[in-house]
Amino acid sequence: MTRRDFVVQGGSLVAAAGAASAAAEKPSVAKTKALVPLTSIRRVEADGVTVFYREAGAPDAPVVLLLHGFPASSFQYRELIPRLADKYRVIAPDLPGFGFTEVPEGRQYKYTFDALAKTILAFTEALNLKHYALYVFDYGAPTGLRLAMAHPERVTAIVSQNGNAYEEGLGDAWAPIQRYWREPTPENREVLRGALSPEGLRSQYVDGVPHPERIAPEGYTLDAAMIARPGNMEIQLDLFLDYANNVKLYPAFQEYFRKSKPPLLAIWGKNDLFFIPPGAEAFRRDNPNATVQLLDTGHFALETHVEEIAEAMRQLLAKTSVG
């Protein structure tokens, strides 16, 4: 596949070849490059899907794989990637149905978490990723944990940021979705459409945040634009319904923790209405190598605590074979 790579520089996309010549002309740009690793924008074919992903760091550095959640994309990692890429090869794909990943209509893709995991597994194999630390958030957790169960030898560590694997971690905000699981009627499906409105998506970012006015609007604005694409709302409603199958898998995830005992950091926005702190604390029950850190923020903790999360990750990874 012919691929053109781009880098993110000063908030703009610059062709990689042009970026090199620009650096030669402007020493100040070259100096900035040395201090802040550039993030490349790439695409690769995997599982019949064109997976869009962001990548930074040396090709031979230990890999950290960032898996986003609802309603976001790899864009949510825009501030975290450069904070890790001096030492790690950091890779953040967009899941099918999200961001800029493209699923051909002829692929007849069925949007389930099993399917998302199959595609991301194929993505890791397309990039020849033999070992990686996982950062899982929200939907990224059931996706990434399926990868870990399938190939535990590949996963060197796990960072779960509001990425749930225990029923006690499901907050009251799940009630309308749980009703849809029990009774998947058109009426109950319609009730959930409000969560996909621009205001419903914004609430994912600001609920539980002590100073919501400080949340930059780019994240939820991009999410709203992407979900508003033709057919995408139905995809999201299908995934709401299929999340019930993740809950059924929670015991299997927990067995994986007990058997493999990966170094694990559960770093949680403690004011999250969907995934509540008991879900973070529960990791300790099955994994003696789990540590828990609670932050005074909501669901999208990276929007308010990226420095704290990056530092906690570096401390975890330094103690593992990844570091």
Residue type, 219: G
Instruction: Measure Cα distances from 126 to 76, 129, 318 in Å.
Output: 23, 8, 27
To the query of whether residue 151 is one of the catalytic residues in this protein, the response is: no
* Rounded distance between C-alpha atoms, residue 258 and residue 271, angstroms: 28
C-alpha closest to that of 131 among 111, 110, 147, 109? 147
pTM given for the model: 0.89
Summarised one tens digit per residue, pLDDT across range 142-191 is 999 999 999 999 999 999 999 999 999 999 999 999 999 999 999 999 99
DSSP state of 275: B
Q: Give the domains, in start order, of the chain with CATH numbers.
A: 40-170+246-321 (3.40.50.1820)
Q: What is the pLDDT of residue 37?
A: 85
Low-confidence ranges of the chain (pLDDT < 50): 1-4, 6, 8-33
Q: In what order do the strands lie in the sheet with 290-295?
A: 12-15, 6-9, 39-46, 49-56, 89-93, 63-67, 132-136, 155-160, 264-269, 290-295
Q: What is the pLDDT of residue 34?
A: 53
* Rounded distance between C-alpha atoms, residue 234 and residue 88, angstroms: 37
* Number of Cβ within a 10 Å radius of residue 128: 6
Say if residues 46 and 119 touch (Cβ distance below 8 Å). Answer: yes
Q: What is the pLDDT of residue 4?
A: 41
Selected catalytic residue, list 131, 151, 211, 299: 299
C-alpha closest to that of 200 among 179, 178, 163, 173? 173
